[in-house]
Structure 1
Amino acid sequence: MQPFSPDPATWKTMPGWKTKPCSQGMPGCHPVPGSKAHLRFRTRLAEALCRERSGDAGPGDTSQESAPACRKSGNQPRLTHDQGSAVVEFTFLALLLMVPLVYFVITVGQIQGGSFAVVGAADQAAKVYVAQPDAVTAQAAAEQAVALALSDFGHQADRASMTTACSPADCQAAGSTVTVTVSLSVPLPYIPFAEGLSATEVQASSSQLVGRYR
């Protein structure tokens, strides 16, 4: 084992001369830039300078201007390795928050569109029903009107149902009130593999009087 020499010039020939002398605080040793010993040296030096400035301040000097600079210089070596990017955090939060929010807005819009569809379908079916000469023709015409009204809003007729009620019971008698009710199961958007799932069921009714002259 090579004996230790107090001469700094001979440290270069010793194994581990960059870390061992500096860690022991030998005179004349300069820590390697970027090492832990170098960062500790800079921190202690900054703290010593701050204490010296505070001690040299006069009676009227409150050291308010030098204190932030001292705190900044003392923390600077420790913040050199605290680096990052907001791209990863922003992407993760966008996927976590924005996607469900956008899907919720689309679903609410589809439910609102289904509500408009059943209102229009019930109104058209009731008007068509009271204009027909017999009950069989009236029922077929009303069903066709419902299918056409739903298709205009992008909904399929097989997801809807229609019922008719008359007061009095004879739907063809003059002065009778015909009420047509249309129900629609609104599907969840963008889920083609789950046809049985639905967001909700909307319903609307419309009534028309059977005229004396048709």
Structure 2
Amino acid sequence: MVDEGITSEDRTGLTRRVFGVLVGVAVAGTAAAGSLLAAGSSAGPPAVKTSFGSVRLIEAERQMRFLPQPGQGSASPGELPSPAHRGHDAVSNAVQPPNSTWGEHLALRLEVRNDSDQPLLFAPGQLRLQIGADGPTVTNRDAEPVTGPLLAGTATSLWISFLVPSGETGLTADFTDSGGGGTHLTLELPSVLNRPGSLAVDHV
């Protein structure tokens, strides 16, 4: 783990409740923006074949962890990223946390499809994030729980959250196919929805 400096209180900042808030905000944004999120999901990266079926990333959301403090500088209203802004750019004016951990959240929605004839056991930890072409590969900070095996012929999706360096855009995802001998599969990131504000303020 790269984020060793995170305290236990900080580590639990993005809980299941936070994911529920993200989903609620996404639903509201969809109604207001003409099904923007649904359109983004359907036009996402293609699925990658696995030993049991396929996986792919269907949504991505990025947000700073903390708002700038007085004297640190902040974006003017015209500079803040719109909730409807998509792309691979980092969130503008993200603040470096005082404990020197990374300053932004990246939440990825992983779709897992089981095309085999057996129940599938999988875990969020099979998805890791590589920071830059030659940088470290890190485990998730938090994830929606997996409640049991994925039945044959079914699919599911879950949100998995990572800490990323402020301003970093060279990000790739790696999925370990445990049923395929531990093969590492590279997953393309979908367009990223940059959300204004911060998780620390919006989701306490």
Specify the TM-score bucket, using the shorter chain as the normaliser: under 0.3
Higher relative contact order (CA 8 A, sep 6+): 2
Greater helix share, 1 or 2?
1
Greater strand share, 1 or 2?
2
What TM-score, normalized to structure 2? Answer: 0.27
